[in-house]
Amino acid sequence: MFGLVGLMPDYSMIVVGANMGVSKMTREHLGISLALGVPLFIVITKIDIAPNEKYLETLAVLTKILQSPQAGKNPVALPRGADSDNTNVGMYAKAMPDKVICPIFSVSNVTGEGIPCLRKFLSLLKSRVKSSG
């Protein structure tokens, strides 16, 4: 979901493999999004193949980076599993333009875990581009 006003995106979705953790490229993409002031959210993928310790480490590193004074974000790790279906993602989608909240979704493309929650969130995001017509 990206708009073209001066070629600035509406949002930035940073995708991180739970099995690989936070890489140098992940840090670079976070830095670019933060430098541009683009509201961002994180999607941790491959949770079906990542050892739980590695997943928790990835989540902790992302949280630490986002909470740093340089980033100034409020990361919110959304629940996994059946609980994710009951999450009020509308509240997070509505808060995205303020650029402070940073939802963190955990998904598996193989099992489908977390996908409905992410899909609902994406459908609720509003374009930040103001229409002139």
Burial of 33 (C-beta count, 10 Å sphere; 0-12/13-18/19+): buried
CA-to-CA distance for 19 and 129, rounded, in angstroms?
35
Tell which CATH classification among 1.10.150.570, 3.20.20.450, 3.40.50.300, 3.30.390.10 matches the domain 12-124.
Answer: 3.40.50.300
pLDDT band at 131 (very low <50, low <70, confident <90, very high): very low
Q: Where are the domains of the chain?
A: 12-124
pTM, two decimals, is 0.88
3-state secondary structure of 74: strand
Query: How many CB atoms are closer than 10 A to CB 80?
Result: 17
> Are the CB atoms for 14 and 43 separated by under 8 Å?
yes
Q: Which residues lie closer than 8 Å to 37 by C-beta, 6 or more apart?
A: 99
pLDDT digits (tens, 9 = 90+) for 80-95: 866 666 678 999 999 9
Q: What is the mean pLDDT of residues 110-132?
A: 86
